[in-house]
Amino acid sequence: MAYKIAVIPGDGIGQEITEEAVRVLKAVDAKFGLDLTYETRDAGGTAYDKYGTPLPEDTLAVCKASDGVLFGAVGGTKWDAVEPALRPERAILGLRKGLGLYANLRPVKVADALIAHSPLKPELVRGVDLVIVRELIGGIYFGEKCESEQVDGAERAWDMENYSVPEVERIARLAFETARLRRSKVTSVDKANVLATSRLWRRTVTALAEEYEDVRLDHLYVDNCAMQLAVRPTQFDVIVTGNLFGDILSDEAAVIGGSIGLMPSASIGTGTSLFEPIHGSAPDIAGQGIANPLGTILSAAMLLRYALHEENAADAVEAAVDEALAEGKRTADIYIADTGCTKVGTREMADAVLAHL
């Protein structure tokens, strides 16, 4: 069985963390005989600097022709003044749209070794095991927008939010199916007390729930959900929500597990799937060799599981990550002094994972 992996490091720490995740994939390949081959392509600001576009056609084509995409991160202050259509972030938005990746799965679990490291109290985070199912190619991200116009002598800008029933149905269906494989509970998050798109969202999810009577469905307003994630995160199993709310809630939920640097994701649709950590290019620490590579390494594990259906290889990577944490290896984002842990850099953290494979 030969698999083609497209590797898109992107910008900032994206370069450092994907390099480590590929090392882990190569080791797991050697162990399980997966026969992986890699095609690396530019995207984001790096591609803009070289080719004048954040998402070269060839990059998208290589991703489409692959069995799975491993993506790092794009963006950075260097490109803040670039015109909106050419911003680095357009690369990941274009890949999601171009590959039809309508769903983004963002699991949040707390490793035993990190319970004491969460900014939340240990008794609140112990046992947290939730997944945010974020709609990824619709909503306000992809609606019509106006960067600038003059109205009554004042400059204004606008972004339109819209969702159709089929768009909501397909993401909600995935959430119900996901819940069936877990603890059979779906929390749909919206702002139906204010937004028309949210009222359509809630109606659609409620109607679909009739096909899933074995799954318990609750609705929460997004402001309350943001609070509930901090006060009682164990109440959640599957959270399904729109593009913007899912973006915000997943960064918040990442805190539960100790650091955003630990959080992986899988973006799936009808074609090739894409796997990336939920964090960005972290310009504040880029190039220093201190970024946490585990979110990307765990994204590689999700690639093995969801794109290649190599369960044993995925389990092995996840177990090796747990063991590296259990032996006290900590990058700066999860290091606490005087707890007997060892502070390590990006490379050493990946070395620790490799040692347990």
Can you give the binding site for ligand IPM, defined by CB under 6 A? 75, 89, 92-93, 247, 278, 280
Nearer to ligand IPM, 54 or 75 (CB): 75
Q: Which partner from the list ligand IPM, Mn ion, ligand NAD, none does 220 bind, CB cut-off 5 to 8 Å by kind?
A: none
315 is catalytic: no
Read off the amino acid at residue 245. F
Query: Per-residue string for binding with Mn ion, 236-255, x by CB under 5 A?
Result: -----------x--------
191 catalytic? Reply is yes
Residue 135 binds which entry of ligand IPM, Mn ion, ligand NAD, none, CB below 5-8 Å type-dependent: none
CA distance 63 to 303: 13
Q: What are phi and psi of 224, to 5 degrees?
A: -65, -40
Q: Are 186 and 215 in contact (CB under 8 A)?
A: yes
What six digits make up the tokens of 166? 């089929």
Backbone φ and ψ for 296, nearest 5 degrees, come out as -75, -40
Question: Is 316 flagged in the annotation as binding?
Answer: no
Binding mask 57-96 for ligand NAD (x = CB under 6 A): ----------------xxxx------------x--x----
247 is catalytic: yes
Task: Calculate the CA 135 to chain-centre distance.
Answer: 12
Catalytic annotation present for 141: yes
For 140, other C-beta atoms within 10 Å of its C-beta total 17
What residue 29 binds from Mn ion, ligand IPM, ligand NAD, none (CB within 5 to 8 A, per partner kind)? none
The number of residues that bind ligand NAD (CB under 6 A) is 22
Report whether 126 belongs to an annotated binding site. no
Helix-helix angle 311-326:346-355, to 10 degrees = 120
Q: How many helices (H) and strands (E) does the chain have?
A: 12, 14
DSSP for residue 137 = S
Of the candidates 29, 190, 237, 247, the residue annotated as catalytic is 247
Catalytically active residues are 141, 191, 223, 247, 251
Residues near Mn ion (CB under 5 A) are 247
